[in-house]
Structure 1
Protein backbone atom coordinates (compact mmCIF):
# COMPACT_ATOMS: atom_id res chain seq x y z
CA UNK A 1 0.00 0.00 0.00
CA UNK A 2 1.11 3.52 -0.81
CA UNK A 3 0.06 6.54 1.21
CA UNK A 4 0.08 10.09 -0.07
CA UNK A 5 -0.26 13.26 1.94
CA UNK A 6 -0.60 15.33 -1.24
CA UNK A 7 -3.20 13.88 -3.64
CA UNK A 8 -2.65 16.49 -6.34
CA UNK A 9 0.96 15.42 -6.89
CA UNK A 10 0.10 11.72 -7.02
CA UNK A 11 -2.87 11.72 -9.40
CA UNK A 12 -2.45 8.74 -11.73
CA UNK A 13 -0.32 6.65 -9.39
CA UNK A 14 -2.17 3.38 -8.62
CA UNK A 15 -2.85 1.82 -5.21
CA UNK A 16 -2.56 5.11 -3.32
CA UNK A 17 -4.46 5.99 -0.16
CA UNK A 18 -4.80 9.65 0.73
CA UNK A 19 -4.48 10.75 4.35
CA UNK A 20 -4.74 14.36 5.40
CA UNK A 21 -1.48 15.41 7.05
CA UNK A 22 -3.33 16.59 10.16
CA UNK A 23 -4.74 13.05 10.55
CA UNK A 24 -1.32 11.42 10.61
CA UNK A 25 -1.53 10.17 14.18
CA UNK A 26 -5.17 9.10 13.89
CA UNK A 27 -4.17 6.93 10.92
CA UNK A 28 -0.85 5.76 12.34
CA UNK A 29 -1.57 2.04 11.85
CA UNK A 30 -2.15 2.52 8.12
CA UNK A 31 1.05 4.51 7.92
CA UNK A 32 3.03 1.82 9.73
CA UNK A 33 1.81 -0.77 7.23
CA UNK A 34 2.47 1.35 4.12
CA UNK A 35 5.28 0.40 1.76
CA UNK A 36 5.98 3.98 0.76
CA UNK A 37 4.88 7.44 1.93
CA UNK A 38 4.50 10.06 -0.79
CA UNK A 39 4.83 13.82 -0.33
CA UNK A 40 4.63 14.23 3.44
CA UNK A 41 4.79 17.75 4.78
CA UNK A 42 8.10 18.83 6.22
CA UNK A 43 6.94 18.58 9.82
CA UNK A 44 6.14 14.90 9.28
CA UNK A 45 9.43 13.85 7.75
CA UNK A 46 11.56 13.16 10.81
CA UNK A 47 8.84 11.11 12.53
CA UNK A 48 8.27 9.03 9.41
CA UNK A 49 11.91 8.39 8.56
CA UNK A 50 13.65 8.24 11.91
CA UNK A 51 10.73 7.14 14.07
CA UNK A 52 8.78 4.74 11.85
CA UNK A 53 11.67 3.87 9.46
CA UNK A 54 9.45 4.51 6.45
CA UNK A 55 10.54 5.10 2.89
CA UNK A 56 9.40 8.51 1.72
CA UNK A 57 9.30 10.30 -1.60
CA UNK A 58 10.84 12.81 -2.05
CA UNK A 59 13.64 11.40 0.07
CA UNK A 60 14.94 12.81 3.34
CA UNK A 61 17.95 14.61 1.84
CA UNK A 62 15.75 16.33 -0.74
CA UNK A 63 13.50 17.66 2.02
CA UNK A 64 16.25 18.70 4.38
CA UNK A 65 18.56 20.37 1.86
CA UNK A 66 15.63 22.02 0.09
CA UNK A 67 13.87 23.20 3.23
CA UNK A 68 15.01 26.77 2.73
CA UNK A 69 17.55 28.79 0.76
CA UNK A 70 20.09 28.69 3.58
CA UNK A 71 20.24 24.90 3.67
CA UNK A 72 20.48 24.73 -0.12
CA UNK A 73 23.17 27.37 -0.39
CA UNK A 74 25.39 25.92 2.33
CA UNK A 75 25.24 22.51 0.68
CA UNK A 76 26.21 24.10 -2.64
CA UNK A 77 29.04 26.09 -1.04
CA UNK A 78 30.45 22.81 0.24
CA UNK A 79 30.12 20.91 -3.04
CA UNK A 80 29.76 23.24 -6.04
CA UNK A 81 31.08 26.66 -4.99
CA UNK A 82 32.01 27.66 -8.55
CA UNK A 83 28.39 27.19 -9.59
CA UNK A 84 26.94 29.30 -6.79
CA UNK A 85 26.39 33.07 -7.17
CA UNK A 86 28.23 35.20 -4.64
CA UNK A 87 25.97 35.16 -1.58
CA UNK A 88 26.05 36.30 2.02
CA UNK A 89 23.82 34.91 4.78
CA UNK A 90 23.69 37.35 7.68
CA UNK A 91 21.90 38.01 10.93
CA UNK A 92 19.97 41.26 11.11
CA UNK A 93 21.39 41.79 14.60
CA UNK A 94 24.96 41.94 13.29
CA UNK A 95 24.49 43.48 9.86
CA UNK A 96 26.69 46.27 8.50
CA UNK A 97 24.93 48.01 5.63
CA UNK A 98 28.08 49.74 4.44
CA UNK A 99 29.86 46.37 4.14
CA UNK A 100 26.97 44.98 2.09
CA UNK A 101 27.08 48.03 -0.18
CA UNK A 102 30.84 47.69 -0.60
CA UNK A 103 30.67 43.97 -1.41
CA UNK A 104 27.62 43.93 -3.68
CA UNK A 105 26.90 47.45 -4.86
CA UNK A 106 23.48 48.28 -6.33
CA UNK A 107 21.41 46.71 -7.63
CA UNK A 108 21.64 43.57 -5.51
CA UNK A 109 19.25 40.69 -4.90
CA UNK A 110 17.72 40.06 -1.47
CA UNK A 111 15.59 37.04 -0.68
CA UNK A 112 13.36 35.69 2.03
CA UNK A 113 14.87 32.37 3.03
CA UNK A 114 11.70 30.34 2.47
CA UNK A 115 9.43 31.23 -0.41
CA UNK A 116 8.73 30.26 -4.04
CA UNK A 117 7.26 31.36 -7.39
CA UNK A 118 9.21 34.61 -7.22
CA UNK A 119 7.62 35.71 -3.97
CA UNK A 120 10.14 37.03 -1.46
CA UNK A 121 12.80 37.83 -4.08
CA UNK A 122 13.63 41.52 -4.35
CA UNK A 123 15.77 43.64 -6.61
CA UNK A 124 17.29 46.19 -4.23
CA UNK A 125 18.32 49.41 -5.96
CA UNK A 126 19.29 51.69 -3.07
CA UNK A 127 19.92 51.93 0.66
CA UNK A 128 16.32 52.73 1.54
CA UNK A 129 15.10 49.52 -0.10
CA UNK A 130 17.86 47.56 1.61
CA UNK A 131 16.90 48.99 5.01
CA UNK A 132 13.25 48.06 4.39
CA UNK A 133 14.27 44.49 3.55
CA UNK A 134 16.44 44.27 6.68
CA UNK A 135 13.61 45.55 8.89
CA UNK A 136 11.33 42.73 7.68
CA UNK A 137 13.79 39.80 7.84
CA UNK A 138 15.76 38.53 10.83
CA UNK A 139 17.96 36.36 8.57
CA UNK A 140 19.33 38.15 5.52
CA UNK A 141 20.05 36.42 2.23
CA UNK A 142 21.99 38.79 -0.04
CA UNK A 143 23.11 37.75 -3.51
CA UNK A 144 24.88 39.34 -6.45
CA UNK A 145 22.67 40.51 -9.32
CA UNK A 146 23.57 38.43 -12.35
CA UNK A 147 23.20 40.06 -15.80
CA UNK A 148 20.37 37.80 -17.05
CA UNK A 149 16.87 38.19 -18.43
CA UNK A 150 16.07 34.46 -18.27
CA UNK A 151 17.02 31.30 -16.48
CA UNK A 152 16.69 27.57 -17.01
CA UNK A 153 14.26 25.41 -15.10
CA UNK A 154 15.60 21.85 -15.15
CA UNK A 155 13.47 19.21 -13.45
CA UNK A 156 15.00 16.13 -11.89
CA UNK A 157 12.78 13.28 -10.71
CA UNK A 158 13.92 9.93 -9.36
CA UNK A 159 17.33 9.52 -10.94
CA UNK A 160 17.05 11.52 -14.17
CA UNK A 161 16.32 14.87 -15.73
CA UNK A 162 12.78 14.67 -17.12
CA UNK A 163 12.43 18.12 -18.69
CA UNK A 164 14.02 21.53 -19.16
CA UNK A 165 13.01 24.93 -20.48
CA UNK A 166 13.92 28.59 -20.38
CA UNK A 167 11.89 31.04 -18.30
CA UNK A 168 12.12 34.47 -19.92
CA UNK A 169 11.22 37.59 -17.97
CA UNK A 170 8.81 40.13 -19.38
CA UNK A 171 10.61 43.06 -20.94
CA UNK A 172 11.81 45.38 -18.23
CA UNK A 173 10.90 42.95 -15.44
CA UNK A 174 13.26 41.38 -12.91
CA UNK A 175 11.59 38.05 -12.12
CA UNK A 176 11.91 35.02 -14.41
CA UNK A 177 9.13 33.12 -12.67
CA UNK A 178 6.11 32.03 -14.68
CA UNK A 179 3.92 33.11 -11.76
CA UNK A 180 5.33 36.61 -12.28
CA UNK A 181 4.45 36.74 -15.97
CA UNK A 182 7.54 35.16 -17.55
CA UNK A 183 7.22 33.05 -20.70
CA UNK A 184 8.50 29.63 -21.76
CA UNK A 185 11.06 28.69 -24.38
CA UNK A 186 11.87 25.02 -24.97
CA UNK A 187 14.66 25.43 -27.51
CA UNK A 188 18.45 25.47 -27.27
CA UNK A 189 18.81 23.91 -23.82
CA UNK A 190 22.56 23.68 -23.09
CA UNK A 191 23.66 20.12 -22.43
CA UNK A 192 26.23 21.38 -19.91
CA UNK A 193 23.42 22.65 -17.70
CA UNK A 194 21.68 19.27 -17.87
CA UNK A 195 24.89 17.51 -16.87
CA UNK A 196 25.43 19.94 -13.99
CA UNK A 197 21.98 19.21 -12.59
CA UNK A 198 22.55 15.46 -12.91
CA UNK A 199 25.84 15.79 -11.02
CA UNK A 200 24.42 18.03 -8.29
CA UNK A 201 21.36 15.82 -7.75
CA UNK A 202 23.47 12.68 -7.57
CA UNK A 203 26.03 14.26 -5.23
CA UNK A 204 23.42 15.64 -2.83
CA UNK A 205 21.04 12.65 -3.15
CA UNK A 206 18.15 14.75 -4.43
CA UNK A 207 15.32 12.89 -6.16
CA UNK A 208 12.58 15.49 -6.79
CA UNK A 209 13.47 19.09 -7.58
CA UNK A 210 13.16 21.92 -10.05
CA UNK A 211 16.59 23.52 -10.42
CA UNK A 212 16.89 27.16 -11.50
CA UNK A 213 20.08 27.71 -13.47
CA UNK A 214 21.49 31.05 -14.68
CA UNK A 215 23.84 31.16 -17.66
CA UNK A 216 26.44 33.93 -17.73
CA UNK A 217 29.30 33.90 -20.25
CA UNK A 218 29.06 30.11 -20.60
CA UNK A 219 29.21 29.67 -16.82
CA UNK A 220 26.33 27.97 -15.02
CA UNK A 221 25.05 29.18 -11.66
CA UNK A 222 22.52 27.37 -9.48
CA UNK A 223 20.14 30.00 -8.18
CA UNK A 224 18.15 27.52 -6.08
CA UNK A 225 16.10 24.38 -6.28
CA UNK A 226 12.48 23.87 -5.32
CA UNK A 227 11.19 20.57 -3.94
CA UNK A 228 7.56 21.39 -4.75
CA UNK A 229 8.07 22.87 -8.18
CA UNK A 230 5.31 23.89 -10.57
CA UNK A 231 4.35 21.44 -13.32
CA UNK A 232 2.82 23.72 -15.95
CA UNK A 233 5.96 23.96 -18.05
CA UNK A 234 6.28 20.18 -18.07
CA UNK A 235 2.63 19.66 -18.94
CA UNK A 236 3.15 21.87 -21.98
CA UNK A 237 5.78 19.33 -23.06
CA UNK A 238 3.40 16.42 -22.52
CA UNK A 239 5.34 15.26 -19.47
CA UNK A 240 3.47 13.75 -16.53
CA UNK A 241 5.66 13.89 -13.43
CA UNK A 242 3.66 11.21 -11.61
CA UNK A 243 4.61 8.63 -14.26
CA UNK A 244 8.29 9.17 -13.50
CA UNK A 245 7.63 8.99 -9.76
CA UNK A 246 5.79 5.70 -10.21
CA UNK A 247 8.57 4.31 -12.39
CA UNK A 248 11.18 5.29 -9.81
CA UNK A 249 9.49 3.89 -6.71
CA UNK A 250 8.45 0.76 -8.63
CA UNK A 251 12.07 -0.04 -9.43
CA UNK A 252 12.91 0.51 -5.77
CA UNK A 253 10.18 -1.93 -4.75
CA UNK A 254 11.30 -4.50 -7.31
CA UNK A 255 14.87 -4.40 -6.04
CA UNK A 256 15.56 -7.98 -4.88
CA UNK A 257 17.54 -6.56 -1.97
CA UNK A 258 14.39 -4.84 -0.68
CA UNK A 259 12.44 -7.34 1.48
CA UNK A 260 9.34 -5.11 1.40
CA UNK A 261 8.71 -5.41 -2.33
CA UNK A 262 4.94 -5.41 -2.94
CA UNK A 263 3.74 -7.94 -5.50
CA UNK A 264 1.45 -5.55 -7.36
CA UNK A 265 4.29 -3.46 -8.75
CA UNK A 266 5.39 -4.59 -12.18
CA UNK A 267 7.88 -2.63 -14.23
CA UNK A 268 8.18 -3.24 -17.95
Structure 2
Protein backbone atom coordinates (compact mmCIF):
# COMPACT_ATOMS: atom_id res chain seq x y z
CA UNK A 1 0.00 0.00 0.00
CA UNK A 2 1.29 3.42 -1.00
CA UNK A 3 0.29 6.25 1.31
CA UNK A 4 0.18 9.96 0.45
CA UNK A 5 -0.14 12.90 2.80
CA UNK A 6 0.31 15.24 -0.18
CA UNK A 7 -2.97 16.91 -1.27
CA UNK A 8 -1.92 16.84 -4.95
CA UNK A 9 -0.56 13.28 -5.13
CA UNK A 10 -2.99 10.38 -5.33
CA UNK A 11 -2.02 7.01 -3.87
CA UNK A 12 -3.70 3.84 -2.59
CA UNK A 13 -4.57 5.77 0.54
CA UNK A 14 -4.63 9.55 1.04
CA UNK A 15 -4.58 11.37 4.37
CA UNK A 16 -4.50 15.11 5.01
CA UNK A 17 -2.48 16.22 8.02
CA UNK A 18 -2.39 19.97 7.39
CA UNK A 19 -2.89 22.12 10.47
CA UNK A 20 -2.66 19.27 12.99
CA UNK A 21 -0.17 16.97 14.66
CA UNK A 22 -0.08 13.37 13.40
CA UNK A 23 -1.84 10.82 15.62
CA UNK A 24 -2.25 7.11 16.19
CA UNK A 25 -4.30 6.58 13.03
CA UNK A 26 -1.59 8.24 10.95
CA UNK A 27 1.09 6.09 12.56
CA UNK A 28 -0.88 2.91 11.87
CA UNK A 29 -1.36 3.87 8.23
CA UNK A 30 2.37 4.59 7.89
CA UNK A 31 3.28 1.25 9.48
CA UNK A 32 1.11 -0.52 6.91
CA UNK A 33 2.52 1.39 3.95
CA UNK A 34 5.23 0.26 1.52
CA UNK A 35 6.02 3.89 0.70
CA UNK A 36 4.97 7.29 2.09
CA UNK A 37 4.70 10.58 0.18
CA UNK A 38 4.76 13.78 2.23
CA UNK A 39 3.86 17.38 1.37
CA UNK A 40 6.63 19.87 0.68
CA UNK A 41 5.64 21.83 3.79
CA UNK A 42 5.72 18.75 6.00
CA UNK A 43 6.11 19.45 9.70
CA UNK A 44 8.91 17.78 11.66
CA UNK A 45 6.63 15.54 13.75
CA UNK A 46 5.04 13.97 10.67
CA UNK A 47 8.39 13.46 8.97
CA UNK A 48 9.87 11.81 12.05
CA UNK A 49 6.88 9.51 12.36
CA UNK A 50 7.03 8.54 8.69
CA UNK A 51 10.78 7.92 8.59
CA UNK A 52 10.64 5.92 11.83
CA UNK A 53 7.91 3.55 10.69
CA UNK A 54 8.50 3.28 6.93
CA UNK A 55 11.76 2.68 5.05
CA UNK A 56 10.72 4.60 1.94
CA UNK A 57 9.67 8.23 2.41
CA UNK A 58 9.59 11.03 -0.17
CA UNK A 59 10.92 13.68 0.07
CA UNK A 60 13.97 12.92 2.18
CA UNK A 61 14.09 15.71 4.76
CA UNK A 62 16.82 14.32 7.01
CA UNK A 63 19.09 17.26 6.21
CA UNK A 64 16.29 19.81 6.64
CA UNK A 65 15.52 18.77 10.18
CA UNK A 66 19.02 17.76 11.29
CA UNK A 67 20.58 20.98 9.97
CA UNK A 68 17.79 23.58 10.23
CA UNK A 69 17.96 27.16 9.04
CA UNK A 70 20.80 29.01 7.39
CA UNK A 71 23.08 28.27 10.35
CA UNK A 72 22.43 24.57 9.93
CA UNK A 73 23.04 24.67 6.20
CA UNK A 74 26.51 26.13 6.68
CA UNK A 75 27.29 23.34 9.14
CA UNK A 76 26.10 20.83 6.54
CA UNK A 77 28.35 22.41 3.88
CA UNK A 78 31.24 22.28 6.33
CA UNK A 79 30.56 18.64 7.19
CA UNK A 80 30.88 17.57 3.56
CA UNK A 81 33.64 20.00 2.69
CA UNK A 82 31.87 21.67 -0.23
CA UNK A 83 33.05 25.12 -1.37
CA UNK A 84 31.01 28.00 0.03
CA UNK A 85 31.64 31.63 1.00
CA UNK A 86 33.66 32.13 4.17
CA UNK A 87 31.01 32.15 6.88
CA UNK A 88 30.85 32.73 10.62
CA UNK A 89 27.95 30.98 12.36
CA UNK A 90 26.43 32.36 15.56
CA UNK A 91 23.59 30.55 17.30
CA UNK A 92 22.92 33.58 19.52
CA UNK A 93 23.98 37.15 20.20
CA UNK A 94 25.67 35.93 23.37
CA UNK A 95 27.85 33.59 21.29
CA UNK A 96 28.74 36.49 19.01
CA UNK A 97 29.70 38.74 21.91
CA UNK A 98 31.88 36.08 23.51
CA UNK A 99 33.49 34.76 20.33
CA UNK A 100 37.27 35.14 20.21
CA UNK A 101 38.11 38.66 19.03
CA UNK A 102 40.84 37.43 16.67
CA UNK A 103 38.24 35.42 14.78
CA UNK A 104 35.68 38.23 14.59
CA UNK A 105 38.40 40.62 13.45
CA UNK A 106 38.68 38.63 10.23
CA UNK A 107 35.20 39.84 9.21
CA UNK A 108 35.79 42.31 6.41
CA UNK A 109 33.42 44.89 4.94
CA UNK A 110 31.42 44.68 2.85
CA UNK A 111 29.95 41.43 4.14
CA UNK A 112 26.55 39.76 4.22
CA UNK A 113 24.41 39.29 7.34
CA UNK A 114 21.69 36.64 7.33
CA UNK A 115 19.24 35.68 10.03
CA UNK A 116 18.82 31.91 10.18
CA UNK A 117 15.21 32.00 9.01
CA UNK A 118 13.25 33.67 6.22
CA UNK A 119 13.16 33.57 2.44
CA UNK A 120 13.24 35.73 -0.70
CA UNK A 121 16.03 37.81 0.79
CA UNK A 122 13.87 39.44 3.47
CA UNK A 123 16.29 38.52 6.29
CA UNK A 124 19.48 39.03 4.26
CA UNK A 125 21.46 42.30 4.39
CA UNK A 126 24.42 43.82 2.60
CA UNK A 127 26.62 45.28 5.35
CA UNK A 128 29.15 47.98 4.48
CA UNK A 129 30.20 49.17 7.93
CA UNK A 130 30.59 48.19 11.55
CA UNK A 131 27.81 50.63 12.43
CA UNK A 132 25.34 48.72 10.27
CA UNK A 133 26.57 45.39 11.64
CA UNK A 134 25.97 46.59 15.18
CA UNK A 135 22.46 47.71 14.20
CA UNK A 136 21.72 44.20 12.95
CA UNK A 137 23.11 42.70 16.15
CA UNK A 138 20.69 44.95 18.05
CA UNK A 139 17.88 43.65 15.84
CA UNK A 140 18.98 40.07 16.62
CA UNK A 141 18.63 40.89 20.33
CA UNK A 142 15.01 41.89 19.70
CA UNK A 143 14.32 38.73 17.68
CA UNK A 144 15.69 36.58 20.50
CA UNK A 145 13.03 38.02 22.79
CA UNK A 146 10.45 36.31 20.54
CA UNK A 147 12.35 33.02 20.44
CA UNK A 148 14.10 33.47 17.10
CA UNK A 149 17.81 32.70 17.35
CA UNK A 150 20.77 32.40 15.05
CA UNK A 151 22.51 34.34 12.29
CA UNK A 152 25.51 34.13 10.00
CA UNK A 153 28.02 36.68 8.79
CA UNK A 154 29.36 35.83 5.37
CA UNK A 155 31.96 37.20 3.02
CA UNK A 156 30.58 39.20 0.13
CA UNK A 157 31.13 37.54 -3.25
CA UNK A 158 31.18 39.86 -6.29
CA UNK A 159 29.14 37.81 -8.76
CA UNK A 160 28.03 40.19 -11.52
CA UNK A 161 24.56 40.52 -10.00
CA UNK A 162 23.43 36.95 -10.51
CA UNK A 163 23.02 33.64 -8.70
CA UNK A 164 22.33 30.18 -10.08
CA UNK A 165 19.29 28.25 -8.87
CA UNK A 166 19.38 24.48 -9.40
CA UNK A 167 16.25 22.57 -8.42
CA UNK A 168 16.36 18.84 -7.73
CA UNK A 169 13.15 16.80 -7.92
CA UNK A 170 14.09 13.19 -7.33
CA UNK A 171 16.61 12.59 -10.14
CA UNK A 172 15.76 15.58 -12.36
CA UNK A 173 17.69 18.86 -12.20
CA UNK A 174 16.48 22.19 -13.56
CA UNK A 175 18.84 25.19 -13.57
CA UNK A 176 18.50 28.89 -14.31
CA UNK A 177 20.27 32.13 -13.54
CA UNK A 178 18.53 34.82 -11.51
CA UNK A 179 19.88 38.16 -12.71
CA UNK A 180 19.50 41.56 -11.07
CA UNK A 181 22.48 43.73 -12.00
CA UNK A 182 21.06 46.85 -10.30
CA UNK A 183 20.55 45.25 -6.89
CA UNK A 184 22.37 43.20 -4.26
CA UNK A 185 19.38 40.84 -4.25
CA UNK A 186 18.89 38.30 -7.05
CA UNK A 187 15.50 37.00 -5.94
CA UNK A 188 12.81 36.74 -8.60
CA UNK A 189 10.31 38.13 -6.08
CA UNK A 190 12.48 41.27 -5.91
CA UNK A 191 12.58 41.82 -9.65
CA UNK A 192 15.36 39.53 -10.87
CA UNK A 193 15.01 38.15 -14.40
CA UNK A 194 15.42 34.50 -15.41
CA UNK A 195 18.15 33.36 -17.80
CA UNK A 196 18.27 29.69 -18.80
CA UNK A 197 21.02 29.87 -21.40
CA UNK A 198 24.11 31.82 -20.31
CA UNK A 199 27.35 30.06 -19.40
CA UNK A 200 26.20 26.45 -19.75
CA UNK A 201 29.64 25.22 -18.66
CA UNK A 202 29.16 26.91 -15.28
CA UNK A 203 25.69 25.41 -14.96
CA UNK A 204 27.11 21.94 -15.60
CA UNK A 205 29.82 22.46 -12.98
CA UNK A 206 27.20 23.39 -10.39
CA UNK A 207 25.02 20.43 -11.35
CA UNK A 208 27.95 18.03 -10.99
CA UNK A 209 28.78 19.39 -7.53
CA UNK A 210 25.14 19.25 -6.52
CA UNK A 211 24.61 15.66 -7.68
CA UNK A 212 27.55 14.53 -5.56
CA UNK A 213 26.26 16.51 -2.57
CA UNK A 214 22.72 15.11 -2.92
CA UNK A 215 24.05 11.56 -3.10
CA UNK A 216 25.79 12.12 0.24
CA UNK A 217 22.94 13.95 1.98
CA UNK A 218 20.02 12.17 0.26
CA UNK A 219 18.32 15.50 -0.50
CA UNK A 220 15.84 14.89 -3.33
CA UNK A 221 13.50 17.89 -3.30
CA UNK A 222 15.07 21.35 -2.92
CA UNK A 223 16.33 24.42 -4.72
CA UNK A 224 20.06 25.06 -4.34
CA UNK A 225 21.57 28.50 -4.82
CA UNK A 226 25.11 28.89 -6.13
CA UNK A 227 27.39 31.88 -6.58
CA UNK A 228 30.31 32.23 -8.97
CA UNK A 229 32.96 34.80 -8.14
CA UNK A 230 33.40 37.09 -11.12
CA UNK A 231 37.08 36.08 -11.31
CA UNK A 232 36.77 32.27 -11.26
CA UNK A 233 34.55 29.35 -12.24
CA UNK A 234 34.20 27.53 -8.92
CA UNK A 235 30.55 27.00 -7.90
CA UNK A 236 30.04 28.14 -4.31
CA UNK A 237 27.17 26.58 -2.37
CA UNK A 238 25.12 29.43 -0.93
CA UNK A 239 21.78 28.14 0.37
CA UNK A 240 19.34 25.24 0.24
CA UNK A 241 15.69 26.17 -0.25
CA UNK A 242 13.30 23.37 0.67
CA UNK A 243 10.34 25.63 -0.12
CA UNK A 244 11.19 27.23 -3.44
CA UNK A 245 9.35 29.35 -5.97
CA UNK A 246 8.02 27.74 -9.15
CA UNK A 247 8.27 30.59 -11.65
CA UNK A 248 11.67 29.49 -12.92
CA UNK A 249 10.28 25.98 -13.40
CA UNK A 250 7.49 27.23 -15.63
CA UNK A 251 4.88 27.92 -12.96
CA UNK A 252 2.94 25.84 -10.44
CA UNK A 253 1.17 23.65 -13.00
CA UNK A 254 4.43 22.65 -14.67
CA UNK A 255 6.05 22.05 -11.31
CA UNK A 256 3.31 19.68 -10.17
CA UNK A 257 3.49 17.75 -13.44
CA UNK A 258 7.22 17.33 -12.87
CA UNK A 259 6.63 16.33 -9.26
CA UNK A 260 4.04 13.69 -10.16
CA UNK A 261 6.32 12.23 -12.86
CA UNK A 262 9.30 12.07 -10.52
CA UNK A 263 7.31 10.54 -7.67
CA UNK A 264 6.08 7.82 -10.06
CA UNK A 265 9.71 7.11 -10.97
CA UNK A 266 10.63 7.06 -7.27
CA UNK A 267 7.81 4.59 -6.56
CA UNK A 268 9.12 2.32 -9.33
CA UNK A 269 12.49 2.36 -7.61
CA UNK A 270 10.79 1.45 -4.33
CA UNK A 271 8.97 -1.48 -5.97
CA UNK A 272 12.22 -2.72 -7.50
CA UNK A 273 14.01 -2.49 -4.15
CA UNK A 274 11.21 -4.35 -2.37
CA UNK A 275 11.20 -7.12 -4.98
CA UNK A 276 14.95 -7.51 -4.67
CA UNK A 277 14.66 -7.67 -0.89
CA UNK A 278 11.97 -10.36 -1.13
CA UNK A 279 14.14 -12.42 -3.49
CA UNK A 280 17.02 -12.35 -1.01
CA UNK A 281 14.92 -13.89 1.75
Instruction: Name the TM tier (shorter chain).
Output: 0.7 to 0.9
Q: Aligned to 2:116, what secondary structure does the other structure show? A: coil
- Counterpart of 2:207 in structure 1 is 194
Determine which structure has the larger helix proportion and give its number.
2
Task: Tell me the equivalent position of 1:241.
Answer: 258
What is the alpha-carbon distance in structure 1 between the residues aligned to residue 69 and residue 124 of structure 2?
A: 13
Distance 1:241 1:80, change over 3 A: farther
d(CA) in 2 for partners of 1:32, 1:198: 31
User: Does residue 1:175 correspond to 2:185, yes or no?
Assistant: yes
CA distance in 1: counterparts of 2:233 and 2:211, whole angstroms:
18
Contact 2:178/2:186 (<8 A) preserved:
yes
2:29 is the counterpart of 1:30? yes
Q: Is the 8 A contact 2:163 2:186 kept in 1?
A: yes
SS in 2 for 1:111: strand
- Taking only aligned residues, the RMSD between alpha carbons, in angstroms, comes to 2.6
Give the SS at the match of 2:23. Answer: coil
Quote the Cα distance in structure 1 between the aligned partners of 2:189 and 2:5. Answer: 24
Q: Secondary structure at the match of 1:229?
A: coil
Alignment match, 1:103: 106
Aligned residues: 252
Deviation at 1:6, TM superposition (A): 4.2
Matches within 5 A, 1:218-229: 218-229=233-244
Q: Larger deviation: 143-152 or 122-131?
A: 122-131
Deviations 1:147-204 (A, max 9, x none): 021011011122342x1000112x4211111122211000033211111111111122
Q: SS at 1:201's partner residue? A: helix
SS of residue paired to 2:276: coil
CA contact (8 A) 1:109 1:142 kept: yes
Partner Cα distance (1:5, 1:36) in 2: 8
Which among 146, 152, 163 is matched to residue 141 of structure 1? 152
Q: Is the 8 A contact 2:164 2:226 kept in 1?
A: yes
TM-score (structure 1 length as normaliser)? 0.82
Change (3 A) 1:13 1:119: farther
Match of 2:146 in 1: none
65-74 vs 151-160, greater mean Cα deviation: 65-74
CA contact (8 A) 1:111 1:122 kept: yes
Per-residue deviation, 1:145: 0.8
TM-score (norm 2): 0.79
1:84-117 Cα deviation digits (max 9, x unpaired): 1100012311325976773232221111112222
